[in-house]
């Protein structure tokens, strides 16, 4: 794997500045860019490690703290290992913050993130890829729908509420997508039940989007996150294979 260089940065937005992590191959050359959206627990060492792994495969990766309006990361105090017992206490605080992030804010922030990435010397020209985990899967989908000319590919892993009956459900952007799309759902995920999986699949198919949606058998919601009790090494490695394959086709 290529040596990487990572640093903490601030990305200017219309509402202030989003603290973020930027990592890229340490070769001084520009590389295709990936906007990596955090899970609900946010920007922390394990997510930086995931971004570094992606950078080691040849990409310039930015991971913004999408809850920056609530404070710099970590927005809430997190244990070194997030087990089932600690989740209720953490989400009691995080839940309202996540729900306060409106689709309009997401799209405005995405514009700022994409513009900032495009202006970085570490970034090659042209569209970027967007990928997200949990909460971030919906953000990736909304970003691709809002700025299809700037997004080459979209991926989401163990996302929740991607295809609800709400008038602003993320899946309703399907008709605006242009790049390839990949979603990998957790098995038996209450946040993404079978009816939502079917609704997302139907929307992407009807829109003629090149896509693949899969369920990872036996994997819990959060299966990619190594610092949580939901981590599933087999499912996580499958996700890496799928994500890198998507990026290879996009770039």
What are the Cα distances from residue 120, in Å, to 9, 65, 115, 116?
12, 18, 9, 7
Please report the beta strands in the chain, taking only residues with DSSP state E, as ranges in sequence order. Answer: 4-13, 16-25, 33-37, 60-64, 128-133, 151-157, 180-186, 211-216
CB atoms within 10 A of CB 77: 8
Using a cut of 0.75, tell me whether the model's pTM lies above it. Answer: yes
Distance CA 194, CA 191 (A): 10
Please give the domain boundaries of the chain with CATH numbers for all domains: 4-250 (3.40.50.1820)
pLDDT, one tens digit per residue, over 92-138 is 999 999 999 999 999 999 999 999 999 999 999 899 999 999 999 99
- Confidence at 150, pLDDT banded by 50, 70, 90: very high
Q: How many CB atoms lie within 10 A of CB 1?
A: 10
Q: Which residues pair with 183 in a beta bridge?
A: 156, 213
């Amino acid at each position: 794997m290529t040596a990487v260089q990572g640093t903490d940065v601030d990305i200017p937005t219309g509402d202030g500045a989003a603290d973020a992590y930027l990592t890229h191959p340490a070769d001084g050359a520009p590389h295709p860019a990936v906007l990596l959206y955090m899970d609900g627990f946010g920007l922390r060492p394990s997510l930086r490690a995931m971004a570094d792994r992606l950078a080691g495969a040849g990409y310039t990766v930015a991971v913004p703290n999408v809850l920056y309006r609530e404070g710099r990361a970590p927005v809430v105090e997190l244990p070194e290992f997030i087990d089932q017992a600690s989740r209720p206490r953490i989400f009691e605080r995080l839940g309202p913050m996540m729900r306060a992030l409106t689709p309009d804010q997401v799209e405005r922030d995405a514009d700022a993130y994409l513009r900032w990435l495009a202006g970085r010397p570490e970034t090659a020209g042209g569209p970027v890829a967007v990928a997200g985990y949990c909460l971030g899967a919906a953000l990736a989908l909304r970003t691709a729908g809002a700025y299809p000319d700037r997004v080459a590919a979209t991926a989401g892993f163990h996302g929740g509420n991607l295809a609800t009956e709400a008038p602003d459900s993320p899946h309703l952007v399907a008709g605006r997508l242009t790049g390839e799309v990949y979603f990998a759902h957790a098995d038996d995920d209450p946040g993404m039940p079978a009816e939502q999986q079917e609704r997302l699949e139907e929307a992407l198919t009807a829109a003629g989007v090149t896509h693949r949606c899969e369920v990872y058998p036996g994997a819990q919601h959060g299966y990619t996150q190594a610092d949580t009790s939901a981590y599933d090494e087999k499912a996580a490695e499958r996700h890496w294979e799928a994500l890198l394959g998507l990026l290879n086709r996009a770039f």
